[in-house]
Chain A
Amino acid sequence: MFKVENLMYKYPKNKEDVIRGINFEIKEKEIFGFLGPSGAGKSTTQKILIKILEDYRGKIFYNGKDIQEYSDEFYEEIGVSFEMPIHFSKMTAMENIEFFLKLYKNNANIEDLMKRVGLWEDKDKMVGEYSKGMKIRLNIVRALLNNPKMLFLDEPTNGLDPKNAMILKDMIREFRDQGGTVFITSHIMSDIDQLCDNVAFIVEGEIIEMDSPRNLKIKYGKRSMTLEYKENNETVTVEFPLDGIGKNQEFINLLQTKDIETLHSGETTLEDIFIKVTGVALRDE
């Protein structure tokens, strides 16, 4: 759906490029994640893809056509949720939504969306009276109100409590399952891990690694099995290589003879893999 070739970008006041020749493809009906620390170039890339930033070098194609050839009609097909709240605070949530709704040809069912994010009861409240979490949820309604084909989400769960973050993640998956395509930028590993079909690690404007979270875990994971059992009132921990585990007699004996407390495969987290691959911690802002 989106194809990015050798993308480079330099802010007018900077001497060096902040995006340094990145290449990636976002396929239709997938959730593609950009994982990286603050200042890595995630939001800048998103702003280029949604045609806010111009003067980039390289090529970007949307449905096979250079995005520079698209007029403002481009925005009929995309929805964008920014990291910060973007509403008129002296207007109610519904007045905000109705204003933006009229600017699009295609309109979603607002009542359904507002109910889904838990804002329907507060629809007539001034946005200025909303909490940060409520404003973020309203951002999502704003992004979805034109029934977009492609959704851009910048740090979508930042500022949300776990319950609302879960609702939002469910909505993103449903959007994908119904044929939509999603581009997410985040520094929150769990968001990317739980949602994305494919992920790119971006550091200092360069993509260091790109694959599905599962493949990355297989590629960089520890491939071991850790077993904990009780013996003489003490917990004993033993680690076995995952390869050939079914034929490992010592492992089988322990399973058969000991009081097993825990059994874990040595699956590395995406955050560990990110640090291993890039040498940069995600929360080093």
Chain B
Amino acid sequence: MNSQLAILVKGELSRLNKYGVFSISILIAVIWGVVLLLVNSDFLAGLLPFVLFLDATMMSIMYIGAEMHFEKTESTISTMLVTPVSNKNMVLSKVLGNTIHNLVSSLLIIAVFFIAGKAGWTYDVGFNIFVVLAGVIIATSTFTVLGLILSYYQKDFTEMLVSMFVIAIFLMIPSVLLMLGVIQGEEWENLMLLNPMQAAQNIIIGGFPNEAGELVFGFEYFVSLGYILFGGLALFRFLAIPKFQDYAVRQSGV
């Protein structure tokens, strides 16, 4: 990472902290801890993949949307445009900043579930941490890019919430229904591979063993991995960077 990018990422993380986004993540992890302690349910422990999936997708879009909204109200994008920083580094720093934040958030949640398992509040959820974290990082990055692009076209935070609602209805709920077995069948499974939410879920769940206690990296896992990874890169390269200048210019009062 070049020094300019490192400064920008540090700035992003610092602002996420100042705006209380880190505090929200800690609070969410604590709430999970309390719920696991009080409810003492194995069902809840089984929700860990879902919680991580939600954090990497919907929450990523919401966090970057909130950050962009704050910057919009403060017109700080205008002054960033007249620094010797390239648009690519500006956009990349936002993606990296949000991904690092979400990684920390996911690690906190994993730690809470781990402690709950070891303390006997729930069963011990076994998983391959490296595969899970790789899935979280890749999914978070891609969904942060998606959130960034959405924020370019939204006038305010309310519009962002409406977009999230639409994404939840058309992309997330079908994915959750498939996970819960409400919709079943190979055709559905194949069709749902086109759903980026489903692909994100597949690459995170890939780190959790099946009923036989084995990690299975099948066709779905690799298709999902390629889809999210290359889809994210394509969105970054062909939409997030080229459209950033237009967005930033609009924030300068044009």
Contact = CB atoms under 8 A, between A and B. Distances in A.
Interface of A: 11, 43-44, 47, 50, 52-54, 72-76, 78, 80, 82, 84-91, 95, 99-100, 102-105, 142
A100 B83 contact: yes
Contact of B11 (A72, A90, A99): A99
B253 interface: yes
A97 B11 CA distance: 12
A223 B4 CA distance: 58
A76 B84 contact: yes
A52 B249 contact: yes
A104 B253 contact: no
Interface of A is mostly: loop
A86 B79 contact: yes
Given A47-B254, A52-B82, A102-B7, A88 B75 contact: no
Contacts of B86: 72
Chain B CB count within 10 A is highest, among A76, A88, A95, for: A88
Interface in B212-254: 245, 248-249, 252-254
10 contacts: A11-B254, A47-B249, A54-B245, A73-B84, A76-B84, A82-B75, A85-B74, A86-B75, A86-B78, A89-B74
Interface in B67-102: 74-76, 78-79, 81-86
Interface string B42-86: 000000000000000000000000000000001110110111111
A103 B2 CA distance: 12
B154 to A, nearest CB: 18
B83 A104 contact: yes
Interface of B: 4, 7-8, 11, 14-15, 18-19, 74-76, 78-79, 81-86, 245, 248-249, 252-254
Contacts of A99: 7, 11, 14
| Cβ-closest 9 pairs across A and B | A86-B79, A90-B18, A80-B82, A75-B84, A72-B84, A103-B83, A102-B7, A86-B75, A99-B11
B76 A87 contact: yes
Contacts of B83: 72, 75, 100, 103-104
A79 B166 CA distance: 43
A285 to B, nearest CB: 15
Nearest to A95: B14
Nearest to B83: A103
A21 to B, nearest CB: 20
Contacts of A53: 249, 254
A90 B85 CA distance: 22
Nearest to A139: B79
Contact of B15 (A50, A52, A90): A90
A90 B67 CA distance: 12
B184 to A, nearest CB: 48
Contacts of A54: 245
Contact of A142 (B15, B79, B85, B248): B79
Contacts of A80: 79, 82
A95 B11 CA distance: 10
A80 B81 CA distance: 10
B128 to A, nearest CB: 38
Nearest to B81: A52
Nearest to B73: A89
Nearest to B249: A52
A80 B79 CA distance: 8
A91 B249 contact: no
A52 B77 CA distance: 11
Chain A CB count within 10 A is highest, among B19, B74, B79, B82, for: B82
B109 to A, nearest CB: 25
A154 to B, nearest CB: 10
Given A50-B82, A90-B18, A142-B79, 16 more contacts: A47-B249, A47-B252, A52-B248, A52-B249, A75-B84, A78-B82, A82-B75, A84-B78, A85-B74, A86-B74, A86-B75, A99-B11, A100-B83, A102-B7, A103-B8, A104-B83
B81 A100 contact: no
Nearest to B245: A54
B75 A84 contact: yes
Nearest to A74: B84
Contact of A86 (B76, B85, B254): B76
B249 A88 contact: no
A103 B19 contact: no
A104 B85 CA distance: 9
A91 B74 CA distance: 12
A54 B242 CA distance: 13
A99 to B, nearest CB: 5
Chain A CB count within 10 A is highest, among B8, B19, B74, B249, for: B74
A102 B14 CA distance: 14
Contacts of A78: 82
B79 A82 contact: yes
Given A50-B82, A72-B84, A80-B82, A88 B18 contact: yes
A87 B252 CA distance: 13
